């Protein structure tokens, strides 16, 4: 079952493809659905892709293919009017709420060390993430490299979902940028006048830095693992 906005979007895309042979732009989709931002379009596209209504064609800009089109409201009403009557339902029937979009795309910014610090680089990919894994705020994802956080359940190849922030409390798992060049995923702790970054693997030692050597770039909000 699609939400109203998902239904409107796939019908709009299908009509535009039938008319011009070209997918509408994200700006056109935003205006057609009266959305406030393109991020709402991204969420709807991801949800439709997840439900196998559309697919994105690789290496082509604005390339969407409609795999199947849901019944339009007027068709559904006509079918209901001509269908044989079923048994009457006693009492009031409560209309169930439409499901919310459950997939969000967030930027995927490359690999981050869960071992010896390595450079974290900016990427241009997007990662589809279940909305239930994220809270409020702005998020991005990093692919974990290394095994120093295994005792916290963070494994090599996992995707760490990070909420952007520049502050952290003792004991939180953070993305720490060291001397503006290398990033690592560790427990954050203050130790006197120093910052201590603790691994979750007894084979590794804590790392200690002066406060001006470390900048917090986010806190762990969730994990995504592919098998």
Q: Do 51 and 116 share a domain, yes or no?
A: no
| Residue from 38, 148, 181, 219 carrying the catalytic annotation | 148
Q: Do 122 and 60 share a domain, yes or no?
A: no
d(CA 125, CA 58): 13
Residue 82 falls inside a structural domain = no
Q: Do 109 and 215 share a domain, yes or no?
A: yes
**Contact between 78 and 111 (Cβ < 8 Å):** no
In this prediction, residue 108 carries a pLDDT of 86
Q: Identify whether 36 is a catalytic site residue.
A: no
Q: How many domains does the chain have?
A: 2
Q: Do 147 and 199 share a domain, yes or no?
A: yes
**Contact between 64 and 13 (Cβ < 8 Å):** yes
Per-residue pLDDT at 127 exceeds 70: yes
Q: Give 30-40 pLDDT, tens digit per residue.
A: 888 888 777 77
Per-residue pLDDT at 77 exceeds 50: no
Q: Give 134-185 pLDDT, tens digit per residue.
A: 878 889 899 898 899 999 999 999 999 999 999 999 999 999 988 887 889 9
Confidence of residue 68 (pLDDT cuts 50, 70, 90): confident
**Contact between 209 and 194 (Cβ < 8 Å):** yes
Whole-structure pTM over 0.85, yes or no? no
d(CA 41, CA 26): 7
In this prediction, residue 86 carries a pLDDT of 45
DSSP state string for 76-142: HHHHHHHSPP-PPPPSPPPPPPPPPP-EEEEEEEEEEESSS-B------EEEEEEGGG--SS-EEEE
DSSP secondary structure letter of residue 149: T
CATH of the domain at 33: 1.10.10.10
The residue segments making up the domain with residue 192 are 103-224
Q: Identify whether 25 is a catalytic site residue.
A: no
Mean local confidence (pLDDT), 47-62: 73
In this prediction, residue 30 carries a pLDDT of 87
């Amino acid at each position: 079952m699609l939400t109203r906005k998902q239904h409107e979007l796939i019908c709009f895309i299908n009509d535009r493809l039938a008319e011009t042979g070209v997918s509408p732009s994200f700006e056109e989709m935003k205006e057609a659905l009266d959305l406030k931002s393109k991020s709402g379009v991204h969420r709807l596209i991801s949800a439709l892709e997840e439900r196998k209504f559309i697919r994105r064609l690789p290496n082509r800009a604005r390339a969407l293919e409609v795999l199947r089109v849901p019944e339009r409201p007027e068709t559904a009403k006509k079918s209901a009017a001509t269908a044989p009557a079923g048994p009457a339902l006693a009492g009031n029937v409560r209309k169930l709420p439409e499901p919310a979009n459950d997939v969000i795309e967030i930027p995927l910014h490359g690999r981050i060390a869960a071992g010896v610090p390595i450079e974290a680089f900016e990427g241009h990919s997007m990662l589809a993430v279940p909305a239930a894994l994220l809270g409020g705020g702005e998020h991005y994802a990093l692919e974990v490299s290394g095994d120093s956080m295994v005792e916290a359940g963070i494994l090599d190849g996992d995707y760490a979902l990070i909420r952007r922030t520049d502050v952290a409390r003792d004991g939180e798992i953070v993305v720490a940028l060291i001397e503006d060049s290398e990033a690592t995923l560790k427990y954050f702790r203050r130790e006197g006048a120093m910052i201590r970054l603790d691994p979750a693997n007894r084979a590794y030692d804590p790392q200690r830095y002066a406060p001006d050597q470390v900048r917090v770039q986010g806190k762990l909000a969730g994990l995504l693992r592919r098998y």
